[in-house]
Structures are given as structure tokens and as C-alpha cells.
Amino acid sequence: MRQTSCRALIAAALCACLSLAALAAVEVEQLSTPELQARYEVLIEEMRCPKCQNQNLAGSDSPVAGDLRREIRRLLEEGFTDREISDYMVARYGDFVLYRPPLQRNTLALWLAPGVFAAIGLVVLIVIVARSRSGSGARQDDASGELSEDERRRLRQLLGEDENGGKRQDD
Amino acid sequence: MARLKLFLPLIIFAALALLFWRGLSLNPQDMPSALLNKPVPQFSLPQLAESGKEKTMQRGDLPAKSLLLNVWATWCIACRVEHPFLNKLAEEGVPIVGINLKDDGAEAQKWLEKFHNPYLFSIADKEGRLALDLGVFGAPETFLVDAEGVIRCKHVGVVDDRIWQTKLQPLYQKLQQQPWDEFAGELSDSLLARCR
């Protein structure tokens, strides 16, 4: 009995350690309302940490990410809209901070390229399907069609039959 | 037409190779400053000084001449590397204003006493508010500011002899002679691109 409770204690302690590690980048501070908290969580998911290239603000524990999270919390509590907050960050750190880049001249290719490639793929697919349909159709016609007189004569020659139906071997 | 089809894979290969070749020379760390050609943001922060003697500094307190704005901290190891070069620049008469980022005031002053103080003054940005407004994401970072208080060039990382001579000094010298608008058009694109 004593041993099992001891084991349970150790297991609990280990679990606690693991979950602490997982929560390293999450602040203890909560926003005043659940709505603000929900918006906060979306914002820090969609914003990129300027220091650590491939992490968002939610996932980074670099000091600047902490500062930016604190700033977002402050702006949310002061009643800024999501749009105003992202403008605020872009004014300081450029479009770089947004994981969802705005549609503008220098991001046009980024936004349009997937559509263009999908369209090209679709056109190629349609052409291939259309061609193979008409192509195989023609072959079927050929196969089921009657032989012409020329073709019959050639076939007989190849099979070694002479003109009047007898076999040359018999001579 | 059939010939062209034969070469299609080669053409696609060549196009992709070109694309990836170009990608090799792009810098993913390149993060153009959003503050370029914008005025230094407003601030109201104490000067780094002995307690009781801190004067509150504002944007208007920056001297009206071209100067360097240097973000530094005692916790920043690269700043220690950069420091001797800043001392040299200060000796040559380049005005440098420090932004002491999220640092302990006493420690920072000790550092300046020990390694010499190249700054006209340092602004104690304990919470990193000014740094955030400047789009700073680490230290050291250095801004070249013109006499009107507009940011004209930014360097992330240590300023050394090479960076100074190739990037900051050409602009600094021109800014001392004439306002930015009079020579900006003549600057090479590569220099402007490096200044972001």
C-alpha cells in the first residue's frame, strides 16, 4: 500500500515536470474577460516572433516575444480592435510579424500563385482526359471496323495464301 | 511541337534551378525596419544616472544633428564586443546616444565606468517601451538618425570597422553636409537596401 502511494506520488511529480515544460511560454496572467482571452490567443497564434524566425508569439519564449505578448494584452485591455493591434505591430516590426500576410502589391504573387497553378493543373488534366477519350475511341473504331479490300489482299499474302484460295505448298 | 515536349522537363528543371539558386542568396533573417525614414518615436524616459539625479529625456532632447542611436545592455554579450569601437567613434567626434535596454541601472553605470562611456547620454528603457516603438528585437542595434530626428539607416548586430565604413559612415558624412532629401536620390540601391 505504502509502495503504491509512493509510486503514484513519483508519477504525479514527473507529470507535473512534463506539463511545466510544455507551458513554459504561457503566461500566468489572464485577461479580464474570456472574450479578450480568446482574442488574445488567436492574435499570438497568428503573429510571428521577430527574433526567432519560425515561431509564433505563442510558441516562443524569447524576451521580445514576451514583450510583444505583454503589449498585446495591454492593447486588448485598452479596447483596441484586432485590426488596430495588428496595424500597431506592423508599424513597428513590418509585415514580417504577420503569419497571414495582407493582400498588397508585393504579396500578390504569394496570394495568386496557388490559384494560377491549380488552374494550369486543371487545364492540363482536362486536355489529357479529352485526348485519351477521343484517342481510344478512334482505335476502337479501327478494331471493330471491316477490313478494306486492300487490307484483305495484304492479309492473305501474309498468311501465305495465293489469289485463288489454294495453298502454294500443294504445287 | 513534339520536339518542344521533349525539352519540357529540361526547361522546368532549369526554371526551378534558377529559382532555388536565387533563394540561396536571399537572407531569411532580412527584416526591413518599419521605422526607416520615419521620425524617432516620442518617448519620456529617465536618463541613466545616479538615483535622484535622473533627468527625464524626451525626443526633443536629442541633439539636432546626425547621430547614432545605439541599443545596449549589460546582459548583452555582443554589446561588450561592440563597446571598444563605439569608444573609438566617440573619440572621433561621432555623437552617440545610448538606449539602455531592460537593464539594472547600477550595473549599467558600473559598466560605463569600467569600459568608458561613449554616449552623450543613455536613456534607461527599463520596460523596453521605446525599444518596442523602435521595432528593436535584440541588442545591439544601431540607428542612424539625421538632424531632423528621422531614422535613415539601421544596423542589427555589432557595429565594427567594416560595417561603419561600408554602411553607416558614407551616409553619416553626407548627412553632416546636407539634408537627406538633397542626396538620397543619388545613393546606390545596394547601400539603401543594406540600410533597412
Lowest pLDDT segment from A65-79, A129-143, B26-40, B165-179: A129-143
Is the pLDDT at A168 greater than 90? The verdict is: no
- Chain A residue whose CA is closest to B32: A94
Let me know if residue A45 belongs to a domain.
Answer: yes
Q: What is the pLDDT of residue B85?
A: 97
Lowest pLDDT segment from A76-80, A106-110, A159-163, B23-27: A159-163
Inter-chain contact A94–B31, Cβ cutoff 8 Å?
yes
Residue A96, domain CATH:
1.10.8.640
Q: Which has the higher per-residue pLDDT, B194 or A138?
A: B194
> Do β-strands B96-101 and B122-125 pair in parallel, antiparallel, or remain unpaired?
parallel
ipTM score of the complex? 0.83
Q: Which has the higher per-residue pLDDT, A170 or B166?
A: B166
Residues of A whose CB is below 8 A from B34: 90-94
Structurally, how many domains does chain A consist of?
2
The mean pLDDT value for B15-29 works out to 88
Q: Within this chain, do residues A125 and A98 fall inside the same structural domain, yes or no?
A: no
When pLDDT is cut at 50, 70 and 90, the band that residue A27 belongs to is low
Please name the member of A64, A67, A93 whose beta carbon is closest to the beta carbon of B34: A93
Does domain B35-194 fall under CATH 1.10.150.570? My reply is: no
Is the pLDDT at A147 greater than 90? The verdict is: no
Tens of pLDDT along A46-61? Answer: 999 988 878 999 999 8
Please name the member of B29, B33, B128 whose beta carbon is closest to the beta carbon of A94: B33
Shortest distance between the Cα of B92 and any Cα of chain A, in A, equals: 32
Q: Are B136 and B101 in contact (CB under 8 A)?
A: yes
Q: Within this chain, do residues A45 and A85 fall inside the same structural domain, yes or no?
A: yes
Domain finish residue from A81, A102, A123? A102
Q: Within this chain, do residues A84 and A124 fall inside the same structural domain, yes or no?
A: no
When pLDDT is cut at 50, 70 and 90, the band that residue B27 belongs to is confident
Q: What is the pLDDT of residue B105?
A: 92
Q: Which amino acid is at A127?
A: V
- Dihedral sign for Cα atoms in the order B187, B60, B40, B137: positive
- Chain B residue whose CA is closest to A96: B31
Residues of A whose CB is below 8 A from B78: none
Please name the member of A64, A93, A96 whose beta carbon is closest to the beta carbon of B138: A64
Is the pLDDT at A5 greater than 80? The verdict is: no
Range of the domain at A62: 27-102
- Interface probe, candidates B75, B137, B141, chain A, greatest A C-beta count within 10 A: B137
